[in-house]
Amino acid sequence: CERYLEEDENDGLKDYKFYCFDGQPKFVHVDVNRFNNDHYINFYSLEWNKLPVRKGVPNSEINDPKPKQFKEMLAVARKLSAGFPFVRVDLFEVQSKIYFGELTFFPQNGLSSFYPKSYEREFGNYIALPDMQTKKDVRIIHRKRNYNYIYRLRQSLSKYSLFEKIIVTLKKRKGDFQDATYWQYIDTADKVVLENTNKKKLPTVGLVKDLDNYGVYVQKRSHWPKYERFLKNNNIPYSFFEIHNADWAEQAKKYDLIIYRPDISPSRMHEAESKLYFIEKHLNITCFPSYEEIWSYEDKVRSNYLLEKYKIPHVPTFTSNSKADTLKYIDCCTFPLISKISCGSVSRGVEMIKTKKQAEKLINKIFSGGRKTYWSDYKQKDYVYFQEFIEDAKFDLRIVIIGEKVFGYYRFAPKNDFRASGAGIYKYIVPELPVEAMKTALITKQAFGSTVLAVDMIKSERSGQYLVIESSVFFDIDDPDELVIDNVTGYYEWSMKNGAYLFEFKPGRFWMQELILKELIITYQNKHLSGRP
C-alpha cells in the first residue's frame, strides 16, 4: 500500500519528474491535474527557467512556482539515479515534504516525442551511447533502416501477415505510430476555425485515408486525421471516400470536394492523375490536389518546365529525352553534376556524377534498357535530369506558403554528404526567415497556381541569391512547430503595400492540413456564391 497524498488547498497535486543522465538531473517537467480537463505539463531547466518544450499534452501559460525543497529534491534525484545511463525520478512536494513516486526507465515505452523536434536531439545528446560493434547491433540498425522496403512488400501479403506484424513492431519502435492517445497528440495544435461562414454553402467532403493504419494504430504522418479534425471542429459534412475501389466514380458523385493525399509510388501517382483528371473534368467536382497540382507533384521534370517558363530563380537544370543531346551537353558542362530521378523523395534517386566517364556510363544505361531505381516497378528510361552542383551552399531552406501564412525551416546535410532532404537534420528554431527567400517562394506559388506550395531552395554564398531546387504541394509534418522564432512558435503573415511585400511574424501552432482545408472551403464558398462555373 502507498500513502494517499492530499492535494494542496490552493493548487492541484504536482508531480515533479526529473530527467537524469548518469546520475545528473538535466531538466524537470511538472505534471499537474493529470486526471481532469485542466491537465498540463510544463518543462523547466534546473535554474527554473521555463523551456518551450511539449510532450503529449499542452503547456500552460502558468509559471509554476519553484518547489520550496527544490535543492533537496535535486539531491534525492542524483542519489536515486546514480549508476543508470538514464532514469526519470518522480517526486512530490506536499506541505514542504518530499515524497518519492517512482523510477521510470522508459517513459511511455520510449514512443512519445518532444516538441519542437530539435529538443529530441538536444535531450538525446545527454545519453552516452556505446560504440555499436557487434554483428547483432549492425543487423538491428540495418533492419530499422530498411523497414520501408519491407513495408512496400505488404501490398502483396494478407492483411494480418507476419510481415505486417514486423512492420508495426518496427514502426512502433521508431515512433511512427500513435495509438489511442493519438487525439491527445493531435489536439496540441491550435484549432483552425472558419469565420463568418455561410452554413448553407458548406461542401460535402470526401476524405481519402492516406498511409496504412493498423487497428488502433495511426501513423503520425497521416494527413487525413488533421483534415478530419478541421471538418469536425467546423461541423462540415464528410465521409471517407474509397478511391481505390471499383465503384470510385459512382462514390465520387456524393461529394462537392475531395481531399486525397496520394502515395508517391509511380503506380499510385498514375492512378491519382487518371482519377483526379476524370473527377474534375468529367464529374465537375473540386479536388485537392487539383489535376494541375498533381501534374507537377513528385515530377521534377515537369516542375522544371514551370520554373523555366516563369523565369523563377532556380538551380541551373538540364533535362532531355535525347541521348545525342545529352552527350553533347556533358561535353561542355562543369562537373560534378547532380543526377536525379523524376519521382524520388527524401534524396532517394539522387547521386553526384563526378566525371564525364561516369556520366557517359549512366547515359548509356538510361537510353538503352533503363536504369533501376529504388522503385521495383520503375526504371529511369529515356530521360535525364541534371542539376549543377552549388558547392558553396551550406543549407537547404524549405518555405511553405498557405494563404497569407508563411512557414519555414532549414535542413542540413550529414557530414560527408551533400543531400539535406531526408537526412533528418532540421532546424525549426531560427532567428528569422530571409525576406528574399520568402519572396521567391511566394512568386513560385503564384506562378504554379497552387493552394499550397512548399518550395525548397539553397543559397549560393558567392552570388547571395536564393535558388529553387524543387517544390511540392504535399510534405510530411511531425508536429505543428514548423517555425520557432525567439522560442515562439508561429508564422509570417505576408501582405502587399505600394507594390512591396511585407512580412509580419505572429504566434500560432497549426497543422498545415487544417489551414489548407480552410483555404479550400473559402475558395469553394466564394466560387459557389459568385455563381462561377
Residue 412: give its domain's CATH number.
Answer: 3.30.470.20
Task: Tell whether 274 is covered by a domain.
Answer: yes
CA–CA separation, 169 vs 109, rounded Å? 13
- Give the domain-ending residue among 249, 264, 296: 296
Q: Are 184 and 57 in contact (CB under 8 A)?
A: yes
Task: Tell whether 424 is covered by a domain.
Answer: yes
- Provide the domain limits for residue 506: 395-530
Task: Tell whether 224 is covered by a domain.
Answer: yes
Share of the chain above pLDDT 90, in %: 53
Q: Does 73 have pLDDT greater than 90?
A: yes
CA–CA separation, 287 vs 520, rounded Å? 9
Question: Is residue 75 domain-shared with residue 122, that is, in the same domain?
Answer: yes
- Give the domain-ending residue among 78, 105, 126: 126
Structural domain count, the chain: 4
- Give the domain-ending residue among 296, 325, 342: 296
The confidence score (pLDDT) of residue 308 equals 97
Q: Per-residue pLDDT tens for 510-522? A: 999 999 999 999 9
Question: Is residue 347 domain-shared with residue 452, that is, in the same domain?
Answer: no
Q: Does 173 have pLDDT greater than 60?
A: no
Q: Per-residue pLDDT tens for 491-514? A: 999 999 998 999 999 999 999 999
**Cell (9 digits) for 162:** 507476419
The confidence score (pLDDT) of residue 426 equals 56
Question: Is residue 422 domain-shared with residue 407, that is, in the same domain?
Answer: yes
Residues pairing with 320 in the sheet? 384
Question: Is residue 354 domain-shared with residue 369, that is, in the same domain?
Answer: yes
CA–CA separation, 499 vs 283, rounded Å? 40
The DSSP code for 81 is: H
Task: Tell whether 3 is covered by a domain.
Answer: no
Q: Per-residue pLDDT tens for 5-55? A: 555 544 567 899 999 998 999 999 999 876 666 778 999 999 999 998 888
Question: Is residue 380 domain-shared with residue 402, that is, in the same domain?
Answer: no
Q: Does 132 have pLDDT greater than 70?
A: no
CA–CA separation, 250 vs 256, rounded Å? 13
Burial of 480-507, coded b for 16+ CB within 10 Å and e otherwise, reads bbbbbbeeebbbbebeeeeeeeebeeee
Mean pLDDT on 392-407: 92
Question: Is residue 208 domain-shared with residue 238, that is, in the same domain?
Answer: yes
* Cis peptide, bond prior to residue 480, ω within 30 of zero: no
CA–CA separation, 66 vs 56, rounded Å? 23
Task: Tell whether 151 is covered by a domain.
Answer: no
**Which DSSP string do the residues of 279-315 spell out, in sequence order?**
HHHHS--EEES-HHHHHHTT-HHHHHHHHHHTT--B-
Question: Is residue 401 domain-shared with residue 525, that is, in the same domain?
Answer: yes
Task: Tell whether 304 is covered by a domain.
Answer: no
Question: Is residue 483 domain-shared with residue 499, that is, in the same domain?
Answer: yes
Q: What angle do CA 316, 317, 322 make, to 5 degrees?
A: 145
Q: Are 12 and 33 in contact (CB under 8 A)?
A: yes
Split at pLDDT 50, 70, 90, the class of 291 is very high
CA–CA separation, 183 vs 308, rounded Å? 43
The residues, any chain, with a CB within 8 Å of residue 531's CB and separated by 6 or more, are: none
Question: Is residue 427 domain-shared with residue 367, that is, in the same domain?
Answer: no
Q: Are 509 and 225 in contact (CB under 8 A)?
A: no
Task: Tell whether 160 is covered by a domain.
Answer: no
User: What's the CATH code of the domain at 370?
Assistant: 3.30.1490.20
The residues, any chain, with a CB within 8 Å of residue 427's CB and separated by 6 or more, are: 118, 409, 410, 411, 412
Question: Is residue 240 domain-shared with residue 325, that is, in the same domain?
Answer: no
Q: Does 413 have pLDDT greater than 60?
A: yes
Question: Is residue 340 domain-shared with residue 456, that is, in the same domain?
Answer: no
CA–CA separation, 514 vs 317, rounded Å? 34
DSSP-derived 3-state class of residue 62: coil
Task: Tell whether 69 is covered by a domain.
Answer: yes
The DSSP code for 5 is: P
Name which of 138-152, 202-216, 471-485 the model is least confident about: 138-152
Sign of dihedral through CA atoms 416, 421, 427, 431? Answer: positive
CA–CA separation, 260 vs 207, rounded Å? 7
Question: Is residue 289 domain-shared with residue 182, that is, in the same domain?
Answer: yes
